[in-house]
Amino acid sequence: MEAIPRNDGEQYRFDAFCKAVLRNEARNYHRNKKRLLDREKSFSVLSMEELGQLTSVDHYPCEEFVFSTYGCDLHIDNELVANAFAALPKQEQSILILFCVLELGDGKIGDLMGMSRSAVQRHRTKTLNELVSQLDSDAPHMLYWQSTRAVAHRMHAFPKGGKASLMAFSEPCGLDRQDHPYKLISVEDTRFLHCNIKTLNLIPNCMAMQQAVEAGCDEVVFHRGDRVTEGAHSGLAILKDGVFCTPPADNLILPSITRKHFLTLCDKLGVPTRIAPFTVDELKNADEVMILSTGTHCVGACELDGKPLGGKDPALLDKLQKAYQQWFNEETAK
């Protein structure tokens, strides 16, 4: 057999070529990686100020009213405020838009509108006072506020250096009529048992409330097995043999501030109280069923799942309703 001649020189040159290619590729990779690190940052290392520059808020015409002047837009998402603003003369509207949106001083506003600084200041102050007086009333209003851990890129862990943000608004909100008892439906309480659904905690409450609305009812009676917990957006209590009964403020209900005030009120009025779980059957056989919330104070119930409910102790229910309303009026008048 004839031996195949070896060509060590070709092998060595090919080996050197491969090593050079790999070495240059590695050098290019590290150079490109360094360039990206110099020019790119992870959201997690950005400061709150830097994140703020990357965010924007969408404005939808169907949800707000827009007033314009000198190419500047003022967006108002409250219909009551928007109607009051629309009733202002155009000159006053322009002054407030330039002041609130562009944050211009009275002198610069005067230069734009051909007015003196003192005239702008006088119109602005008078108009703002008139708006406050027009919007201020003795009618019941709802003050809603909520705080978040911070405004930041979506992440599960708390953002470093994040500062809590507060959202608050006030709007007219009349109390429900206490002489119109609620109709109720019963719903099994499966809240916080939906780990298979990536959603917000209140979705089960909203779905249950929608079920009540579609059934022509006003609230929900949540229950875990036989035990009554609370409503979709209210606390529950019952009157039985002259005793005010309410579930304990444990991990199955949201501690209701209205419930707390009624317990204090009952002590002052000499009405016995009992803090203990009660069943669906006990609720059905109660003398009265009370729906407690900030927006209703206390409304009785007349029906559960289409069957009559309560109505056996209207005198005590009326006494508690009037006493709570009197206390509320005195507290809010201070």
What secondary structure does DSSP assign to 81-104, as a single string?
A: HHHHHHTS-HHHHHHHHHHHTS--
pLDDT band at 6 (very low <50, low <70, confident <90, very high): low
The C-alpha angle with vertex 160 and arms to 156 and 165, in degrees rounded to 5, equals: 80
Q: Where are the beta strands (DSSP E) in 135-248?
A: 141-148, 165-172, 182-188, 219-224, 227-228, 235-240, 243-246
Distance between CA atoms of residues 184 and 2, nearest Å: 101
Six-digit token pair at 136? 């201020």
Question: Residue written as tokens 């002590």?
Answer: 267
- Residue 299's pLDDT is what? 95
Six-digit token pair at 297? 């104070």
Provide mean pLDDT across the span 82-105.
87
Task: Quote the percentage of the chain above a pLDDT of 90.
Answer: 42
Q: In Å, how far from its chain's centre is CA 290?
A: 26
Q: Find the catalytic residue in 41, 126, 198, 322.
A: 198
Q: Are 187 and 209 in contact (CB under 8 A)?
A: no
Phi, psi of 57 (to 5 degrees): -115, 125
- Residue 283's pLDDT is what? 97
81 vs 287 pLDDT, higher one:
287
Six-digit token pair at 91? 């000159």
- Residue 260's pLDDT is what? 94
Q: Are 82 and 71 in contact (CB under 8 A)?
A: no
Provide mean pLDDT across the span 118-142.
82
Q: Is 33 a catalytic residue?
A: no
pLDDT band at 202 (very low <50, low <70, confident <90, very high): confident
- Residue 57's pLDDT is what? 62
Three-state DSSP at 197 gives: coil
pLDDT band at 162 (very low <50, low <70, confident <90, very high): confident
The C-alpha angle with vertex 203 and arms to 230 and 158, in degrees rounded to 5, equals: 105
Instruction: Give the residue from 290, 249, 252, 296 showing the smallest Cα distance to 271.
Output: 290
Mean pLDDT of the residues in the chain: 86
Task: List, in order, residues 6 or more apart from 121 with CB less than 8 Å away.
Answer: 106
Q: Are 261 and 323 in contact (CB under 8 A)?
A: no
Distance between CA atoms of residues 241 and 313, nearest Å: 9
pLDDT band at 221 (very low <50, low <70, confident <90, very high): very high
> Is 44's pLDDT higher than 70?
no
Provide mean pLDDT across the span 46-73.
72
pLDDT tens sequence across 148-159 = 777 777 777 877
Q: Are 85 and 99 in contact (CB under 8 A)?
A: no
Q: Are 298 and 288 in contact (CB under 8 A)?
A: no
Distances (CA, A) of 110 to 83, 107, 118, 303: 26, 5, 9, 64
- Residue 138's pLDDT is what? 66
- Specify the pTM: 0.62
Distances (CA, A) of 10 to 2, 24, 122: 21, 21, 94
